Each structure stands twice: as structure tokens, then as C-alpha cells.
Amino acid sequence: MDIIGLALNLAGAIIILRFGLPPRVSESGMGYLALESVDEGEIKKGKKYRMISRIGLILLVVGFLFQLLEKII
């Protein structure tokens, strides 16, 4: 179970590293070149990044729990 936990932690960390919300992604859909435009593509991209980064966080927590259970049992 310890190795499974480590693998989940690694996968979660890589996902968060890759899909953590960078400053160039606007969840509000506001464009940088226009003053008050809403870009639906940016809204979808922001939601996608947020969902995938949450999956990465969940993998980190589950990996930690696997490692904790290995030490307790």
C-alpha cells in the first residue's frame, strides 16, 4: 500500500504542476486586450484546469491516506 500511495502522490503532484491555474487563464472570461469582453473559451479552460487540479489534490490526499494506513496496519 505504501508504493500505491507514493504512486498516487506522484501522479497528483504532476497533475497539479501541469494544471495548476496559471495567471494567464481567466476563469471570469475577461479578455486581456479588450476592456469588457467575455471569452467563453477562457471560461471553459478555467473550469477544466480547476477540475483537473482538484483531481490532482484528491490523488495527493488518497496517496497520503494509503501511506498512513500502511504505517498504522
Task: Please report, for the chain, the start and end positions of each structural domain, with discontinuous segments joined by +.
Answer: 2-72
Please tell me the predicted confidence (pLDDT) of residue 61.
Answer: 93
Residue 63 confidence (pLDDT) above 80: yes
pLDDT band at 22 (very low <50, low <70, confident <90, very high): low
Residue 14 confidence (pLDDT) above 90: yes
Q: Express each pLDDT in 28-56 by its tens digit.
A: 666 556 567 777 888 898 889 889 999 99
* Whole-angstrom distance, CA of residue 39 vs CA of residue 20: 20
> Which alpha helices (DSSP H) does the chain contain, by range?
2-19, 40-72
Report the mean per-residue pLDDT for the chain.
83
**3-state secondary structure (DSSP) of residue 15:** helix
* Whole-angstrom distance, CA of residue 72 vs CA of residue 5: 14
